[in-house]
């Protein structure tokens, strides 16, 4: 194993870095050609074997290649300190920081400056490593798995799922993963304005299904501080994903994340039922119209016969409007269950969905914002510990 891994074609900078580590910083320096940057999987394999503390992207590595590689590495090896060697300017520093690079240093820097930066990078690695160890000891065996379901389509289920995930991301930054299990026509990617490189199909295939660290490299980070695992771009790929594979996927994610939010497809498909079996909580969504309310009632009746109800359930009435001819009491009487959250029909919510920026991402002032926060609050352990009697209260539109 090597403590420092350097990617560069600049022999003079390599010599300076080796002199900077000599004596003061124990550990070997391993150097590779910039050609390696074009093969991220090879870099990930190398990091797995060598387990360095600091990755230095030296002179000769193109900026766009360095940023792209750093983004992937940061997901797989969050403890690793990454350093970019480049001429410092605001744009370079900003791009570097966004990709997970901790420091930028000019290639003309002298040996003492390089040594100081490497010492700081090693200290940062050690701090993160200790923090991870403490968290792993304290962390529960399984995270909270929240499935968002609806037998009928068109009730705003994906909008609720994305806002729920973004809201939970504020409770647990980088501790939330949103999984799109509407495998044929999922909209999580468009609702979050993402262009994912990988999908659920990649996550259940090959080494990702056997190694959680590999799986994390297939997640797409979102600016709100959450991760997303989006549906395949080709609807036909859904046939290549089995219910058993999804069960393993969810179990892998719950071992790494405090919150796993699952957006399912409409209906009670094999994939949805596989997800439901893994859920600690189920959010049932209905619109304020007779077909969707009756559809949800029929779905709940079927699940009751199959004994597939999770520990906690939450009924969300979406597009709530007192002028529709239905009341909350009508909905509850049909469902045989109380409505927990009512989200009013909102122009701001529709606009946010069309823009790909969830309402809770920027805390937009809107009637729906408060209700969505109320839904998020139901999954805050502190709130649950003191509010069990309020878990199911009658709502007012």
Do 86 and 215 lie in a common domain? no
Contact indicator for 158, 283 with CB cutoff of 8 Å: no
Do 110 and 30 lie in a common domain? yes
Do 217 and 127 lie in a common domain? no
Residue 162 clears pLDDT 90, i.e. is over it: yes
User: DSSP for 34-84?
Assistant: GGGGG-HHHHHHHHHHH--SEEEE-TTS-HHHHHHHHHHHHHH-TT-EEEE
The chain-wide mean pLDDT, for the chain, equals 85
- pLDDT band, very low/low/confident/very high, at 136 (cuts 50, 70, 90): very low
Do 250 and 102 lie in a common domain? no
- pLDDT band, very low/low/confident/very high, at 252 (cuts 50, 70, 90): very high
Residue 355 clears pLDDT 50, i.e. is over it: yes
| pLDDT score for 390 | 52
Residue 135 clears pLDDT 70, i.e. is over it: no
Q: What is the length of the chain?
A: 397
Do 369 and 229 lie in a common domain? yes
Task: Give the domain range for residue 151.
Answer: 142-395
d(CA 18, CA 300): 66
| pLDDT score for 138 | 41
Query: For the chain, where are the alpha helices, taking DSSP H only?
Result: 11-21, 40-50, 63-76, 90-99, 111-138, 157-171, 188-191, 200-203, 212-216, 243-254, 270-278, 290-306, 328-335, 347-355, 367-377, 381-386
| pLDDT score for 142 | 63
Residue 329 clears pLDDT 90, i.e. is over it: no
Residue 139 clears pLDDT 60, i.e. is over it: no
How do residues 267-300 score in pLDDT, each as one tens digit?
Answer: 888 888 889 988 999 999 998 888 888 888 888 8
Q: How far, in whole angstroms, is CA 204 from its chain's centroid?
A: 16
Residue 30 clears pLDDT 70, i.e. is over it: yes
Q: Choose one of 77, 111, 138: the last residue of a domain.
A: 138
As a whole number of Å, the end-to-end CA separation of the chain is: 62
d(CA 293, CA 319): 12
Do 102 and 209 lie in a common domain? no
CATH number assigned to the domain comprising residue 313: 3.40.50.300
CA 356 to each of CA 69, 132, 162, 197, 287: distance values in angstroms, whole numbers, following the listed order: 26, 33, 10, 18, 21
Do 342 and 224 lie in a common domain? yes
| pLDDT score for 397 | 44
- Both structure tokens of 267: 């209906």
Q: Residue 313 pairs with which residues in a beta bridge?
A: 282
Mean pLDDT across 192-209: 89
Number of domains in the chain: 2
| pLDDT score for 108 | 92
Do 169 and 239 lie in a common domain? yes
Q: Choose one of 113, 138, 163: the last residue of a domain.
A: 138
How do residues 65-116 score in pLDDT, each as one tens digit?
Answer: 999 899 888 888 888 999 999 987 888 888 888 888 988 999 999 999 998 8
Q: How far, in whole angstroms, is CA 101 from its chain's centroid?
A: 19
d(CA 263, CA 283): 10
- Both structure tokens of 34: 């910039």
Of 103-107, 236-240, 258-262, 337-341, the range with the highest mean pLDDT is: 258-262
Do 295 and 359 lie in a common domain? yes
Please name which of 53, 42, 41, 102 lies closest in space to residue 77, comparing C-alpha atoms. 53
Q: Choose one of 72, 105, 138: the last residue of a domain.
A: 138
Q: Torsion angle of alpha carbons 212, 217, 218, 220, nearest 10°?
A: 120
Do 119 and 152 lie in a common domain? no
CATH number assigned to the domain comprising residue 73: 3.40.50.2300
| pLDDT score for 246 | 93
Do 301 and 362 lie in a common domain? yes
Do 111 and 198 lie in a common domain? no
């Amino acid at each position: 194993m090597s403590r420092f891994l350097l990617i560069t074609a600049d022999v003079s900078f390599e010599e300076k870095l080796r002199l900077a580590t000599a004596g003061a910083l124990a550990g070997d320096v391993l150097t590779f050609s910039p050609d390696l940057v074009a093969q991220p999987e090879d870099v990930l394999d190398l990091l797995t074997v060598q387990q360095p503390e600091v990755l230095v992207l030296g002179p000769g590595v193109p900026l766009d290649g360095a940023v792209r590689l750093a983004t992937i590495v940061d997901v797989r090896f969050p403890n690793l300190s990454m350093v970019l060697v480049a001429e410092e300017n605001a744009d370079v520093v900003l791009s570097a920081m966004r990709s997970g690079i901790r420091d930028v240093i000019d290639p003309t820097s002298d040996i003492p400056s390089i040594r100081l930066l490497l010492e700081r990078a090693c200290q940062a690695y050690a701090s993160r490593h200790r923090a991870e160890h403490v968290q792993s000891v304290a962390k529960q065996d399984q995270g909270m798995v929240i499935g968002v379901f609806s037998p009928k389509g068109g009730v705003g289920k994906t909008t609720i799922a994305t806002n729920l995930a973004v809201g939970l991301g504020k409770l647990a930054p980088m501790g939330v993963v949103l999984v799109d299990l509407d495998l044929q026509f999922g909209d999580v990617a468009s609702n979050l304005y993402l262009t994912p490189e990988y999908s659920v199909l990649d996550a259940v295939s090959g080494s990702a299904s056997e190694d959680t660290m590999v799986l994390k490299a297939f997640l797409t980070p979102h600016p709100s501080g959450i991760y997303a695992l989006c549906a395949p771009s080709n609807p036909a790929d859904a046939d290549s994903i089995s219910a058993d594979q999804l069960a393993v996927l969810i179990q892998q994610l719950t071992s790494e994340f405090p919150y796993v939010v699952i957006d399912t497809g409409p209906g009670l498909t094999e994939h949805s039922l596989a997800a439901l079996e893994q859920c600690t909580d189920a959010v049932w969504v209905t619109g304020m119209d007779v077909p969707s309310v009756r559809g949800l009632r029929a779905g709940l009746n079927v699940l009751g016969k199959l004994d597939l109800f999770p520990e906690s359930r939450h009924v969300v009435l979406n597009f709530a409007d007192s002028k529709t001819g239905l009341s909350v009491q009508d909905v509850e009487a049909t469902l045989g269950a109380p409505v927990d959250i009512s989200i009013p029909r909102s122009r701001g919510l529709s606009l946010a969905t069309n823009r790909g920026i969830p309402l809770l991402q920027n805390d937009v002032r809107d009637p729906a914002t408060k209700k969505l926060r109320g839904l998020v609050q139901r999954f805050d352990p502190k709130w649950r510990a003191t509010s069990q009697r309020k878990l199911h209260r009658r709502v007012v539109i």
